[in-house]
Amino acid sequence: MQYDLIVIGGGPGGYVAAIRASQLGMKTALVEKGELGGTCLNRGCIPTKTLMHTANLYREAGEWETLGLELGQRSYDFAEIHQRKNDVVHQLRDGIAQLLKANKVDVYAAEGKVIDGNTVQAGEETLTAGHILLAAGSVPAVPPIKGADLPGVVTSDALLEAQGMDCQRLLIIGGGVIGVEMASVYASLGKEVTIIEAAERILPPMEREISQNLTMILKKRGVTVFTSAMVSGICQDQNGLVCHFTDKKGEQTAAADVVLLSVGRRPCTAGLFADGFTVELTQRGFIAVDDQFRTSVATISAIGDVIGRVQLAHAAEAQGIAAVEYISGQKEATVNFTLVPSCVYTTPEIASVGMTADDAKKAGKEVTTGKYSMNGNAKTKIEQQDRGFIKVVFDKETDVILGAQLMCARATDLIGELVTAVSLGLTRQQLGKTMRPHPTFCEGITEAVEEADGQGIHIMPSRR
């Protein structure tokens, strides 16, 4: 079968790219060996956030008496929690299938193997096209530590697929985004949770204050956190699993029923190319691409996790749109794929975009910052939210916003406004002119901007 474009991988990057290509007039095929939606929908973003929503409701129900509400004995059904998660996933997966059909994209439920620059083997079918787009995604990495193959030592896939894994004691190796989100879910359900992180703090890529605040909140909820800790091995005894590690205090052990390996992800390139054919790979095994997502083979492009730039669903979507627009002959993409917001769905939520103050200073820029403690925000008080803040960073010379860091309720929604502001190069004055409704969480943006002006007028006195 002859096509203009063959996309391998039906995750957020792949299916969005296929739809955009069809909209641009290309005859398009999508090859996916597993479920449509990829990791994000089936074993990542969507199931995690569905579980998080349920777990947060359960935790908040324990505080109802402070609101004048009465609740009987709290309880939950772990299997039913996961069944609801599965229902959400299935509904969204069906929606993707309908979108692809409506946009006349041919879907092949098979493993895709690139034979050459214009040919893909999809199961028993041989497909040819002028261009091929690789959106094969990634899988959880398994560190080379003794005991990583023991029963009960799992990756995030096992915790998120089917009925998940119920346990009383969960130990998480890795304090990155996946690690802290799963810690939040299990801790909110009353489980014993331990995090072991090799770096000096959890969420190491985030601003230090965010990491410190989240550590305090997790500990308050019963999570034990070890940092600057190196795991030497995992063994099994009569009571379950035992993790051996070394931190600043020396050799330590921690017991668990389940150990989650959450130390990053590796690209899905195994089996992607036929014997004797490949494209250039980076030293870490990701597919190397240029600024238009073209590989070393002119007719093959690649996007998303498999190129290793930013392993986020929304980044893959933006890259997919840009890649097919370049393939179609457009000189510029209609989407800004370089400005990527980062989100962590703990409670409170965390979100950031652009530069931190430290980033800007390292780049030789003088900055003006504005920070507002959300303890003084009326909506935060009303909804009994935890400590948090909104911080904005401006170029001191031009007053143009360079970035923002949020740790507060609805941070992952609020960041959208600030992504737009950074993308458009809005100034402090332009952001300050915007009227935001009251009482809302987004008022905190106004307060942070005014703090940068030295003119903050707080509805409630904030506690810094």
Q: Using an 8 Å Cβ cutoff, are 283 and 114 in contact? A: no
Q: From 176, 343, 346, 185, select the one nearest 258 (Cα to Cα).
A: 185
Q: Using an 8 Å Cβ cutoff, are 344 and 174 in contact? A: no
- DSSP code for 427: B
Query: What percentage of the chain's residues is helix, strand, coil (to nearest 5)?
Result: 35, 25, 40
Here the tokens at position 70 are 């009465």
Here the tokens at position 43 are 């074993």
Q: Using an 8 Å Cβ cutoff, are 170 and 260 in contact? A: yes
Q: From 416, 363, 418, 413, select the one nearest 391 (Cα to Cα).
A: 418
Which CA distances in Å does 44 have to 11, 49, 71, 159, 406?
Answer: 11, 9, 32, 10, 22
Q: Tell me how many helices (H) and strands (E) the chain has.
A: 13, 22
Distance CA 291, CA 307 (A): 12
172 beta partners = 195, 260
Which CA distances in Å does 136 have to 32, 269, 305, 307, 316?
Answer: 9, 7, 8, 9, 11
Q: Using an 8 Å Cβ cutoff, are 134 and 302 in contact? A: yes
Distance CA 185, CA 82 (A): 12
Using CB atoms within 10 Å of the CB of residue 281, give its burial: 0 to 12 exposed, 13 to 18 middle, 19+ buried.
middle
Q: Using an 8 Å Cβ cutoff, are 278 and 132 in contact? A: no
Using CB atoms within 10 Å of the CB of residue 353, give its burial: 0 to 12 exposed, 13 to 18 middle, 19+ buried.
buried
- Please, where are the H alpha helices in 221-356? 313-327
Q: Is 438 a catalytic residue?
A: yes
The rounded radius of gyration (Å) of the Cα atoms in the chain is 24
Q: Using an 8 Å Cβ cutoff, are 12 and 314 in contact? A: yes
- Please, where are the H alpha helices in 302-382? 313-327, 357-362, 378-382
Strands, DSSP E only, in 125-218? 125-134, 138-140, 153-154, 169-173, 192-196
Q: Which residues are catalytic?
A: 438
